[in-house]
Amino acid sequence: MEDQNELAAQSANKTSYLQKKKNIFNKIAYRSGKKISADIVRVQSGDIHLRKYVDHFRELAPELPKFSQFIENIYSSDLRVQHQGLVGLRKILSIEQNTPIQKAVDAKVIPKLIEFLCLENLPYLQLEAAWIMTNIACGTTEQTEQIVTRGAIRHFVKLLKSPRGEISEQAVWALGNISGDSSELRDLILRSGGLFPLLQIVDHAKTQTMIKHGTWAISNLARGRPLPDINLVRISAPTLCNVIKKDTDTDTLTDGIWALSYITKDELSIKMVLGSGVVPALVHYMGYSLVYL
C-alpha cells in the first residue's frame, strides 16, 4: 500500500511538472518561437523627435478606414499619407486574434515595406515598417518566407545597430520571430551575422524589456532541430550567464537557461559556463518553482 501511494505521488508530481511545462510553452510561445509585437508604444531612445512622435500617436484613437485604404496610402507619394497608411496597417496586424497577415501578403505590400526599412532619415516610417514586418513574421512559414526572400534579414541585422532604441528593439523582435520559424531561417540569421549585435544589445541594455526580448531572440537562435552549429552560437554563453546571474524576470530566466542548455554541447562551451560563476544561480533555480526547466 505504501509503495502504491509513493507511485501515485510520483505520478502526480510528474503530471504537475508536465502541465507547468505545457503552460509555460504556451505562455512564451515556445512551440512556434514567435510573438506578436502588440500595439504598445515603447519609448527608449534619446531621440526627442521620435519620442514626441510616439507620444503623439499614443494619444490618438482615430477611426480606422478600410484595409484597402491603408494599402493605397502606403503607395502614396505624400509622406504624411504614407505614414497614415503604415500606422493603420500596423494597428490591424497588432491584433492577436485572427491577424490578417495573409491579406497583407496578398496586397503585395512587402517590397514597399522593405524600401521603408532603408529610410534612416525618416525613422517614423522606418519604425512602422519594421513593426509591420515583425508581425508578418509571426505568421506561417510561407508568410515569413515572403519577407525573408526579399532581404528582410539583412535589413533587420543592420537595424540592430540603429542608434534609436525603438527601432533596434523592433529589429530584435523581428529576428526573434524569423529565427523561431525554422532551423533553416535560424541558420540564415546566424550566417548573416545577426547574433553578435544582438548580444551587444543585451549586454548594454538599459531596460528590462530590451533584456527580455533580446534573451528570447537569442534562445530562438540557440534552439531547434537540428541544433545550430556550436561554433556559431558559442559566443552567446557569457551574455546568457550574465542574464541568469542578474535577472529576476521569470520568462527571461527561462529563456536564458534553456538557451544555455542548448549551447553547452562541447568542452569549450562548458568551460566558459563554469568560469562565468553562473553555476550557483543554476543550482538555485533548479528548485525555483516559477522557472520551468
- Secondary structure of 148-187 as H, E, C letters: HCCCHHHHHHHHCCCCCHHHHHHHHHHHHHHHCCCHHHHH
> For 232-269, how does the pLDDT look when each residue is reduced to its tens digit (9 = 90+)?
999 999 999 999 988 778 899 999 999 998 988 878 87
Asked whether residue 19 is domain-assigned, the answer is no
61 pLDDT exceeds 60?
Answer: no
Least confident of 65-69, 115-119, 130-134, 159-163: 65-69
Domain boundary among 193, 220, 242: 193
Q: Which of 59, 42, 60 is nearest to 51 (CA)?
A: 42
pLDDT category of residue 36 using cuts at 50, 70 and 90? low
Q: Are residues 214 and 116 in the same domain?
A: no
Q: Are residues 219 and 170 in the same domain?
A: no
How many angstroms separate the CA atoms of 195 and 184, rounded?
Answer: 15
Q: Are residues 77 and 178 in the same domain?
A: yes
How many angstroms separate the CA atoms of 173 and 229, rounded?
Answer: 22
Phi, psi of 189 (to 5 degrees): -65, -45
> Do the beta carbons of residue 248 and residue 212 sit within 8 Å?
no
> Do the beta carbons of residue 219 and residue 255 sit within 8 Å?
yes
Q: Are residues 278 and 264 in the same domain?
A: yes
Q: Are residues 183 and 101 in the same domain?
A: yes
How many angstroms separate the CA atoms of 123 and 125, rounded?
Answer: 5
Q: Are residues 44 and 172 in the same domain?
A: yes
Cell numbers for 14 = 510528474
How many helices (H) and strands (E) would you count in the chain? 18, 0
Q: Can you give the CATH number for the domain in which 138 is found?
A: 1.25.10.10
- Burial of 239-275, coded b for 16+ CB within 10 Å and e otherwise, reads bbbbbbeebebbbbbbbbbbbbbbbbeeeebeebbee
At 28 the pLDDT is: 34
Q: Are residues 136 and 214 in the same domain?
A: no
Taking each helix axis from N to C terminus, what angle separates 279-286 and 237-246, rounded to the nearest 10 degrees? 60
Domain boundary among 153, 175, 193: 193
177 pLDDT exceeds 50?
Answer: yes
Q: Are residues 177 and 211 in the same domain?
A: no
> For 88-146, how does the pLDDT look when each residue is reduced to its tens digit (9 = 90+)?
999 999 887 788 999 999 999 999 999 999 999 999 999 999 999 999 999 999 999 99
Q: Are residues 211 and 187 in the same domain?
A: no
How many angstroms separate the CA atoms of 38 and 150, rounded?
Answer: 24
Least confident of 30-44, 126-140, 151-165: 30-44
pLDDT category of residue 85 using cuts at 50, 70 and 90? very high
187 pLDDT exceeds 60?
Answer: yes
Q: What is the value of pTM for the model shown?
A: 0.77
Asked whether residue 199 is domain-assigned, the answer is yes
Looking at residue 110, the DSSP 8-state letter turns out to be H
Say which residue, 273 or 137, is predicted with more confidence: 137
271 pLDDT exceeds 60?
Answer: yes
Q: Are residues 45 and 158 in the same domain?
A: yes
Domains in the chain, number? 2
Asked whether residue 3 is domain-assigned, the answer is no
Q: Are residues 75 and 180 in the same domain?
A: yes
Asked whether residue 1 is domain-assigned, the answer is no
Q: Are residues 158 and 269 in the same domain?
A: no
Domain extent at residue 136 = 28-193
> Do the beta carbons of residue 213 and residue 172 sit within 8 Å?
yes
Domain boundary among 172, 193, 214: 193
Asked whether residue 9 is domain-assigned, the answer is no
